[in-house]
Amino acid sequence: MKLRVERDALADAVAWTARTLPKMSGALSGILLEAGDEVLDLSSYDMDVSGEASVTSVVEEQGRILVSGRLLADIARSLPAAPVTLTTDGGKALLTCGRSRFTLPLLPEEDYPPLPQLPPEAGKTSGAVFAQAVAQTFVATSKSDTMPLFTGIRMEIAGEDLTLAATDRYRLAVRELTWSPEAVGFEREVIVPGRGLSDVAKSLAGSDFVHLALASDDRGDRSLGVVGDQRRFTTRLLDGQFPKFRDLLPTDFTSSVRADVGELSEAIKRVSLVAERNMPVRLNISDGEIELRVGAADETQAVESIEARLEGEHMTIAFNPHFLLDGLHAVGTATAVIRYNEAAKPSVIVGAADFDAEPNLDYRYLLMPVKI
């Protein structure tokens, strides 16, 4: 193998591929490099998740090698700003960039398993829209692996409607968007590991389009593919029965309060400085303001008020401050609208462009209150 490639292009491709490297040693800890006709393909695979990237290269001698993925990733991101030359010499790979030279031992590629094939393409959507939708729902996934189902993002496709949902049983995030399906009437419901999908969607946010690859049914194909900008990702799907989340979302509310997202977020952060573990923040909602309070009368306290617009009944509601902040940040608008019925029943946060604009119901963040 002998080729030349731009430093930034190689570093980006290696970083993308290295995200799916397992922590184990052996062949699966390697990144496979295949030099073909004016292109260098990089891939990694841990038997559940795969990552592939292609880079335009000047290939003088084609070849295929397997090198330590972590080592290659560390080297690639530290290289100087100069073209990179990669050659092989017996059982070693030689990487030269400017005045830097590295020698990497080759791993036995015969032990490397074949990469999974992409399922059929299901459709496409904007990279920026997809990244936002995934981020808005990933925030509500469980960060504990004790119940893998709740670490995933539910993805429902019904024609031109794509719905993402996630819950950790204390909150629920739902994002609805339209997309371009490959076939008319395509329908499928799957649960995708949240962390992997979040990382990939964020990396492809700048792509004009992100293509989703998904079989029309799960018979013999339990994987999802994501493709964009010469990057490919596959992941095994999660098994289990996801809650009927639409039944959990209230449709009618007696009251709502509007507040500036930035002001409310900063106030929550300040009053939470005195909060001990699992201590909630109380929102005393009244005409013209929200008073935030943390701590009881015989404890360290913090109180702050912000301007707000109330429509409906006065109410005192308590929330986990971290979960409340997650929802406020996820709405993606300048104004948040908190809708509620009773202090003991779930509230739903949606976004609005300003105090006078109609709420955007494409994204809804349901949050269970804390008993006072």
Asked whether residue 184 is domain-assigned, the answer is: yes
Rounding to the nearest 10 degrees, give the CA dihedral for residues 19, 228, 34, 83.
-80
**Same domain for 92 and 141?**
no
Residue 210 resides in a domain: yes
Binned at pLDDT 50, 70 and 90, residue 182 comes out as very high
For the chain, how many structural domains are there in total? Answer: 3
Same domain for 132 and 237, yes or no, is: yes
Shared domain for 208 and 263, answered yes or no, is: no
* 116 in a structural domain: no
Asked if residue 163 belongs to a domain, the reply is yes
Residue 354 lies in a domain: yes
Residues of the domain holding 224: 121-246
CA–CA distance, 67 with 109 (Å, rounded to integer): 9
Q: Is residue 306 part of a domain?
A: yes
Residue that is last in its domain, among 111, 131, 162: 111
Q: What is the pLDDT of residue 219?
A: 67
Question: Does 19 fall in a domain?
Answer: yes
Q: Which CATH number does the domain housing residue 321 bear?
A: 3.10.150.10
Model confidence over 289-322: pLDDT tens digits? 999 999 877 778 999 999 999 999 999 999 999 9
Whether the pLDDT of residue 61 is over 90: the answer is yes
Is the domain of 173 the same as that of 98?
A: no
Identity of the amino acid at 168 = D
pLDDT tens for 128-175 read 999 999 999 999 999 998 999 999 999 999 999 999 999 999 999 999
What pLDDT is attached to residue 58? 97
What's the 3-state SS for the chain? CEEEECHHHHHHHHHHHHCCCCCCCCHHHEEEEEECCCEEEEEEECCCEEEEEEEECEEEECEEEEEEHHHHHHHHHHCCCCCEEEEEECCEEEEEECCEEEEEECCCHHHCCCCCCCCCEEEEECHHHHHHHHHHHHCCCCCCCCCHHHHEEEEEEECCEEEEEEECCCEEEEEEEECEECCCCCEEEEEEEHHHHHHHHHHCCCCCCEEEECCCCCCCCCEEEEEECCEEEEEECCCCCCCCHHHHCCCCCCEEEEEEHHHHHHHHHHHHHHCCCCCCEEEEEECCEEEEEECCCCCCCEEEEEECEEECCCEEEEECHHHHHHHHHHCCCCEEEEEECCCCCCEEEEEECCCCCCCEEEEEEEECCCCC
Average pLDDT, the chain: 95
Residue ending a domain, choose from 111, 132, 153? 111
Predicted TM-score (pTM) of the model is 0.93
